[in-house]
Amino acid sequence: MKPKLTCPHCDKDISVIANRIEIKHSWKYAFLFLVLPLLFFIPTYKVVYFKPVITEDLSIVDVSTSLNRWGFELHGVVVNKSDNVWKSLMMEAEFFDKDGNFVDEAKASILTTINEHSREHFKVRLNGLGKEALTLEPRLKLSGGRVE
């Protein structure tokens, strides 16, 4: 004899076999609610928490300035000290006078690819800065970029 339950609303007998079907297919629900979220979570976790930091991987050395007919130029070298390949760097240059007071700032992009453990020369042309920019001290920092 099959076990039966009584419906509390209509007082009809309900076969318990319906519960067995639900239990039999419950592994699909376990896969859906446990395994699939893990497949999404692990790559997302790696991208968010193990993302390389540009200030730890790259540094700017040998900075010089010049003024020519096209405008004010900054020259230097970006050194990649990591195993990452960097691309599309954003650079910020802040200019200070002899007393250390902030005067102006400019932003520029370096569109070249910087391979792992390499040095890459750059030249950034900044418009709107005149001859007085040659007397200012530039302080450069890398503010963005992406890893290939």
CATH code, 88: 2.60.40.3230
Residue 3 has pLDDT above 70, yes or no: no
pTM, rounded to two decimals: 0.62
Same domain for 136 and 63: yes
Counted domains in the chain:
2
In a shared domain, residues 138 and 72: yes
What strands lie across the sheet with 71-80, from one edge to the other? 58-68, 71-80, 119-126
Q: Are residues 82 and 127 in the same domain?
A: yes
Whether residues 44 and 83 share a domain: the answer is: no
Winning range, highest mean pLDDT, from 32-46, 56-70, 122-136: 56-70
Q: What is the pLDDT of residue 16?
A: 58
118 plus 134 within the same structural domain: yes
> Which domain range does residue 107 map to?
54-147
Query: 44 and 106 share a domain?
Result: no
> Is the pLDDT at 47 greater than 60, yes or no?
yes
Confidence of residue 99 (pLDDT cuts 50, 70, 90): very high
Average pLDDT over residues 121-147: 82
39 shares its domain with 66: no
Are residue 43 and residue 62 in the same domain, yes or no? no
Angle ∠(40,44,47) on CA atoms, nearest 5: 155
Q: What is the pLDDT of residues 57-78, one digit of tens each?
A: 899 999 998 888 777 888 999 9
Q: Is the pLDDT of residue 51 over 70?
A: yes
Using only C-alpha atoms, what is the Rg of the chain?
31
Based on the fold, state whether residues 103 and 84 are members of the same structural domain. yes
Whether 23 shows a pLDDT value over 80: the answer reads: no
Q: Does residue 142 share a domain with residue 90?
A: yes
Is residue 130 over pLDDT 80? no
pLDDT at 2: 58
Checking if the pLDDT of 24 tops 70, the result is no
Tell me the pLDDT band of 52, cut-offs 50, 70 and 90: confident
The span from the CA of 79 to the CA of 85, in Å, is 11
Percent helix, strand and coil across the chain, each rounded to 5?
30, 45, 25
Question: Are 67 and 113 contained in the same domain?
Answer: yes
45 and 58 fall within a common domain: no
